[in-house]
């Protein structure tokens, strides 16, 4: 009998953003804005980015780590399926991540845009299953912290 190497984890990260919910929603819906905060980075080159915020649509991101990074030459890909949208209020999507050719995680991710004094509270909840070779929930949470910081800069 084999033992499953799946690790389940959930976490929530949030930011209060000095912009109305419609502007924060735009950061998810506008392909150019989303690419800036979600796809681009200083340690990798984006090889594919397709953003289509409609229920049932598939969004894709694939990038390759640059020389001088711990995983130089390796690729990471996300394939997301948009499950539910309430404009300016919430987005729910399912996500699969691969490292090289291996699936490393699957997740349900919810972004809630809550009106707050001075703007919007963005609450992102990640519920995931991490497979063999995955980065794990702590590193993934740090990644989302960084991405939300970039989102704040993008909408400001």
Domain-located, residue 32:
yes
Domain-located, residue 60:
yes
Residues (pLDDT < 70) of the chain are: 1-4
Domain-located, residue 48:
yes
Domain-located, residue 25:
yes
Domain-located, residue 91:
yes
Domain-located, residue 2:
no
Domain-located, residue 1:
no
Query: Whole-model pTM?
Result: 0.93
pLDDT of residue 135: 84
User: Domain of 98: which CATH number?
Assistant: 3.30.530.20
pLDDT of residue 151: 97
Span 118-153, pLDDT tens digits: 899 999 999 999 998 788 889 999 999 999 999 999
Residues near 32 by beta carbon (within 8 Å), at least 6 away in sequence:
none
pLDDT of residue 2: 56
Strand-pair partners of 9: 128
pLDDT of residue 132: 87
Domain-located, residue 23:
yes
Strand-pair partners of 77: 62, 98
Domain total for the chain? 1
Nearest to 111 by CA among 46, 26, 36: 26
pLDDT of residue 31: 97
pLDDT of residue 16: 95
Residue 40, domain extent: 7-155
pLDDT of residue 57: 97
pLDDT of residue 5: 81
pLDDT of residue 4: 67
Residues near 88 by beta carbon (within 8 Å), at least 6 away in sequence:
21, 22, 25, 113
């Amino acid at each position: 009998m084999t033992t499953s190497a799946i690790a389940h984890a959930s976490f929530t990260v949030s930011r209060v953003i000095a912009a109305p919910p419609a502007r924060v929603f735009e950061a998810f819906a506008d392909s150019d804005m989303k690419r800036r905060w979600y796809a681009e980075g200083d340690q990798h080159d984006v090889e594919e980015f397709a953003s289509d915020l409609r229920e049932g649509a598939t969004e894709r991101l694939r990038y390759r780590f640059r020389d001088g990074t711990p995983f130089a030459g390796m690729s990471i890909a996300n394939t997301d399926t948009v499950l539910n949208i309430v404009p300016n209020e919430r987005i729910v999507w399912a996500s699969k991540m691969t490292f090289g050719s291996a699936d490393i995680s699957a997740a349900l991710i919810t972004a809630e845009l809550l009106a707050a004094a001075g703007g919007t509270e963005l609450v992102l909840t990640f519920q995931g299953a991490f497979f063999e070779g995955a980065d794990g929930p702590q590193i993934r949470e740090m990644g989302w912290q960084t991405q939300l910081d970039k989102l704040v800069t993008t909408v400001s």
